[in-house]
Structure 1
């Protein structure tokens, strides 16, 4: 059963969207290597690509989700790749990015629709992904999401 943290993670994760939504976030103003990593992360989340999620998430990754509890990399990936979940549409807006030599914050608002364990959902939330460049490779080290009205 997917936890509420996992559900929130899905909403963050569904940035890649479907034909009815934006394919990925707008990363046109980011350094090329960070833009490529962020795009790969969006797509991996949408496709529930376990191998790519393993690669793009740091081993010390933490998700702070809507239940007030933290989730580890392994827990997040298990939730992301659980069968029976489908995203119909995702839209990112009000995106914010702050980048420095070995770190970045990518954030914004997300609207998502889909099904979670066969139950339809709509979700609007604000998310923040913190990225670190380690050994020449960008990885997500922290995500926080919360629903908004």
Structure 2
């Protein structure tokens, strides 16, 4: 549950202050990634995530692209809310680092959950598209 819960991974609020085409492209990639996670869209996650993608969750556990796709196929958890906020983008060549907060709420295993996370995502520009390579999340006060 926590793997998908923190995939940072549904809908991202794109900051109005994002400047430049590359920052906007990175944020758009984040929106697509989040939408795929929220919908448990395994096929979209297959396209979006780099093959060597990893997520370090708030418990220090590491999952892979294959793990996240397998979890999406279970369609659990089901998100009522999965929203990233306060995103900041830094770009260095073909690497982008995005930091922000994620708020989630939904059902998993029939039980309600709600949590807040701080995240750092690293995306790489491959063949003109920004794709997630690594993600790290820390749970913050509920």
TM-score by length of 1: 0.81
CA contact (8 A) 1:57 1:140 kept: yes
Q: C-alpha displacement at 1:27, in angstroms?
A: 5.3
CA contact (8 A) 2:57 2:138 kept: yes
Paired positions, count: 137
**Partner residue in 2 for 1:148:** 140
CA contact (8 A) 1:5 1:67 kept: no
After superposition, the CA RMSD in angstroms is 1.9
Q: Give unmatched runs, 5+ long, in structure 2.
A: none
Q: Distance in 2 between matches of 1:145 and 1:134?
A: 24
Q: Give unmatched runs, 5+ long, in structure 1.
A: 17-23
Q: Distance in 2 between matches of 1:109 and 1:138?
A: 20
**Partner residue in 1 for 2:55:** 63
**Partner residue in 2 for 1:13:** 9
TM-score by length of 2: 0.84
Q: Render the CA deviation track for 1:18-61: whole Å, top value 9, x for unaligned.
A: xxxxxx33155252433332221121111111111111100010
CA contact (8 A) 2:82 2:104 kept: yes
What is the 5 A alignment of 1:29-40?
29=18, 31=22, 32-40=24-32
Q: Distance in 1 between matches of 2:115 and 2:72?
A: 16
Q: Distance in 1 between matches of 2:9 and 2:40?
A: 9
CA separation of 1:82 and 1:27: change in aligned 2, threshold 3 A? farther
Q: Which SS does the other structure have where 1:66 is aligned? A: coil
